[in-house]
Structures are given as C-alpha cells and as structure tokens.
Amino acid sequence: MTDQAETPEQEPFPKIDTSVPHSARIWNYWLGGKDNYDVDRVAGDAFREIFPGIETGARAARYFLARAVRHLAAEEGIRQFLDIGTGLPNVDNTHQIAQRVAPESRIVYVDNDPLVLAHARALLTSTAEGVTNYVDADLREPGTIVREAGKTLDFDRPVALMLMGILGHIEDHDEARSIVRQLVDALPPGSYLVQYDSTDTSEDYVRAIQQYNDGGSIPYILRSPEQIERYFDGLELLEPGVASCSRWRPDAAALGLPAEVHQYGGVALKR
C-alpha cells in the first residue's frame, strides 16, 4: 500500500471463515482465480450446473468495469475512484486501469471481507505519482466510508463511485437506493456513478441464486433492469444507458461474449 507513513498500525487479520461459501471467493473462482476454498468451488460448481452462463456473465461484468474506468480516466478526466465492494484483486483492477491512463490517479477500495483485506494490503499497490488505499468498512455505513475515504480522496473534486455487483447484498431495494443516494450526495458535481448488478432476467439464474441463498451464505437478491436503473435517479446516464454489461460500449476484449448477459449496468454523471 502507498502512503504507509500516514496509515495507522495495521490490526491483526480477522479469522477467515472457510466453512461457508463467500460471494467474493466464488466470483474469484468463476473468473479463474485461485483465492478460494473447497466450499466456494463446490458452491460455484452447483450454481453453474443450474445456470451454465455464470462464468460468461462474470467475465462480461469484469470487462464492463475495465471499459468504464478507462472511459472515465481517458475521456472524462476523472482522477479519483471510490470502489466499494471491490472483491478479491484480479487482473486489471480499478487502480491499474486508471493509473495506466493517468499515473497520478487516487483510488480507495472498500470491503469488509477478511480475505479481501489480506490481499488488498499485499497486492493493491500504486504508481509513485498516485495513491491506492483500502478502507475496511461495510456498505451499510456510507458515512463511515465517506469519512475514511476522505483521508485519501478530495471530495471537492470529482470522484467516480463504483458499486460493482454489491447492491444485491442489500435485501431491501429501498435501503439499497438510500445507500446510493447518501454516497452520491457526498460527491461534488462532475462525479460519476458506475454500477452493475445481476438481474432476474433468467429463470435458471433465479433458481441458482435461490439455491445459493438457501445454503446459508450472505443472500444476494436479483433485481430487474428497471430496478437497477432506479439507482441512477437524478443523474445523467451516459449512452447506452443501463444495459447488459456486454452491450455497454463493447471493445475488442468483449468479442466472443454474447450480446446479452444477465448482469446489467451503467455509468452516470452528477451535474
């Protein structure tokens, strides 16, 4: 991590529970990563048996993140990113993409999973010109997130708020919308919201999620594309609006993906 001189002494890592599958580790498994346990692979395989398209959707969502960050850094001049619910580090994380375009970019990751924390401390490095930091906090604590992120980011300048596949863990849709509003309200004009989540647009996906939720993991709620669009209320959506992740400004990396996956997202400007 950068800015180590400004960082308090690190607390011991909390114990990682390997008896229950965890969404970040399962997602890592689907993306071909190695930061997962047997319980996660069993759950991931069971999910895939019901919904074989999950790995394709995971890749499409990852490529959406890359395209959105690259667009904001290269075309919109954004130099600050607040990535909440980052999950486990993978190829081309937010800070790597942003700092490849603009080395001075400042990135704050937020998560509260012990395994994510361990990897963040070890792997989320930065360019010399920029900063990459990590906040251990819960999505349900937007005030804490903004306060802690403000130690690294300047909230008087535009920030890209990234909520990638995380709002489905908030079971009540109104509560999820309220959290988004509180976070967006803390951002200055010229900031952006980047968001995607999985949708209820496939019966098999709905069945697979139900089995996953019944297994004792932290529940994930599939929502309609219309419900996802409500997260952007009051903001100016960039073209093509809220769309299947593989349809959002596809590039060469997205070749081979189906035109329609069941992860929907968008990017919007705060005026």
Question: pLDDT at position 116, please?
Answer: 80
Burial of 209 (0-12, 13-18, 19+ CB in 10 A): buried
Question: pLDDT at position 150, please?
Answer: 98
Instruction: Write down the H helix ranges in 93-161.
Output: 94-101, 114-123, 142-149
Strand, coil or helix: 148: helix
Quote the CA–CA distance of 16 and 117 in Å, as a whole number.
Answer: 10
Burial 174-201 (b: 16+ CB within 10 A, else e): eebbebbeebbebbeeebbbbbbbbbeb
Instruction: Write down the H helix ranges in 107-252.
Output: 114-123, 142-149, 173-185, 203-214, 225-230
Token representation of residue 268: 């919007």
Question: pLDDT at position 6, please?
Answer: 41
pLDDT by position in tens, the chain (length 271): 334 334 434 455 556 777 788 787 888 898 888 888 899 999 899 999 999 999 999 999 999 999 999 999 999 999 999 999 987 777 788 999 999 999 999 999 999 888 787 777 666 788 899 999 999 999 999 999 999 999 999 999 999 999 999 999 999 999 999 999 999 999 999 999 999 999 999 999 999 999 989 887 789 999 999 999 999 999 999 999 999 999 999 987 777 788 789 999 999 999 9
Quote the CA–CA distance of 152 and 154 in Å, as a whole number.
Answer: 7
pTM higher than the cut 0.85: yes
Question: pLDDT at position 154, please?
Answer: 98
- The count of other CB atoms within 10 Å of the CB of residue 250 is 16
Quote the CA–CA distance of 217 and 23 in Å, as a whole number.
Answer: 8
Count CA atoms closer than 13 A to 245's CA, side-chain side. Answer: 31
Question: pLDDT at position 1, please?
Answer: 37
Q: Is the dihedral of CA 245, 58, 194, 173 positive or negative?
A: positive
Which residue, among 171, 255, 245, has the nearest Cα to 213 in the 3D structure? Answer: 171
Q: Going by C-beta distance under 8 Å and a sequence separation of 6 or more, which residues neighbour residue 52?
A: none
Token representation of residue 107: 């990135």
3-state helix, strand, coil in the chain (%, to 5): 40, 15, 45
Quote the CA–CA distance of 270 and 76 in Å, as a whole number.
Answer: 13
Quote the CA–CA distance of 7 and 151 in Å, as a whole number.
Answer: 10
Strand, coil or helix: 92: coil
